[in-house]
Structure 1
């Protein structure tokens, strides 16, 4: 872990580079009973700028939970590259036709039979407040480090970067 926290701009750039090719994220909400519940969400093909966008269903427990308790967590995992991101933020249920049109793809017709005009479509904006990331040094290097640690009995070194970012 570095001693100096990255600037907001550096953090956003790093997070954007890690999550840009991750197809799915896990969005965690708090239920009415106070339990944490995670759901897979499709990552939108937009550049991360501190906000994360999703499309969900107004009638889902997940969206209802966000409306009542907007503090959420979004996590990304790319085990092939040993990259992981956890983003804490505030969910907003947004009505913005232009943004919805920007993010919409025919993929969503599987969930919304009436297409983009389906009355159940809900645009979700997560305003990131902070994040932590683990950026691997590459799969082969990590495997080598773990194997060497197992043989020598000494802790693995240079397993990548870990840092927190305030957004």
Structure 2
């Protein structure tokens, strides 16, 4: 696996590509204590600058954790495409009605009583730094390359990994 560390605009583009293609993230809060608090969240949107949006219940534990400590970690994993992403940043809670209406989709009815539910909030995540692993191929091709490399002793290009800096 080759290493390709990215900064600024290149890092933002890589983050956006991976976060949008994977969709679900484990949002980890309560970073200063153990056990950590982790919950699956659907990524609603990623702006070009990396700002990431999620919908959340106002009375949730992760909202409470973010209000007391904005530090947050997002962990994305997609087994079929062998793409992985870990990003650290800061989150904040908003009740911006226009933004809620913009982000809300029909699948969100599983968690809320419609887009005007008074319990909906937006978690806005601002990434600062991260790490990615991108296989460039699907899992089957990656496994074939790893097996071929093990048999022949020839190092195979199975993808890239790197740091995402100055997001």
- Both proteins in one fold, TM over 0.5: yes
Does structure 2 conserve the Cα–Cα contact (< 8 Å) formed by 1:32 and 1:65?
A: no
Quick one: structure 1 residues 91 and 46, their matched pair in 2 at CA, closer, same or farther if it must change by over 3 Å? closer
SS of 1:88's partner is: strand
Quote how far apart the aligned CAs of 1:138 are: 0.7
Quick one: structure 1 residues 43 and 155, their matched pair in 2 at CA, closer, same or farther if it must change by over 3 Å? farther
Structure-2-length-normalised TM-score: 0.86
Does structure 1 conserve the Cα–Cα contact (< 8 Å) formed by 2:27 and 2:38?
A: yes
Work out whether 1:14 is the aligned partner of 2:14: yes
Q: Which residue of 1 aligns with 2:157?
A: 158
Q: Which residue of 1 aligns with 2:3?
A: 2
- The 5 Å alignment of 1:49-88 reads 49-88=49-88
In angstroms, what is the RMSD of aligned CA positions? Answer: 2.1
Work out whether 1:123 is the aligned partner of 2:122: yes
SS of 1:35's partner is: coil
Quote how far apart the aligned CAs of 1:48 are: 4.8
Counterpart Cα distance in 2 of 1:15 and 1:33? 27
1:1-41 superposed Cα distances (whole Å, 9 cap, x missing partner): 536x4231111112222222223111111178542121111
Q: How many residues align?
A: 164
Quote how far apart the aligned CAs of 1:62 are: 1.3
1:66-101 superposed Cα distances (whole Å, 9 cap, x missing partner): 111211111111111111111111010112122111
Does structure 1 conserve the Cα–Cα contact (< 8 Å) formed by 2:51 and 2:127?
A: yes
SS of 2:88's partner is: strand
Quick one: structure 1 residues 137 and 32, their matched pair in 2 at CA, closer, same or farther if it must change by over 3 Å? closer
Counterpart Cα distance in 1 of 2:42 and 2:154? 36
25-34 vs 93-102, greater mean Cα deviation: 25-34
1:139-163 superposed Cα distances (whole Å, 9 cap, x missing partner): 34311222124434x4853221111
> Unaligned regions of 5+ residues in structure 1, if any?
none
Structure-1-length-normalised TM-score: 0.86
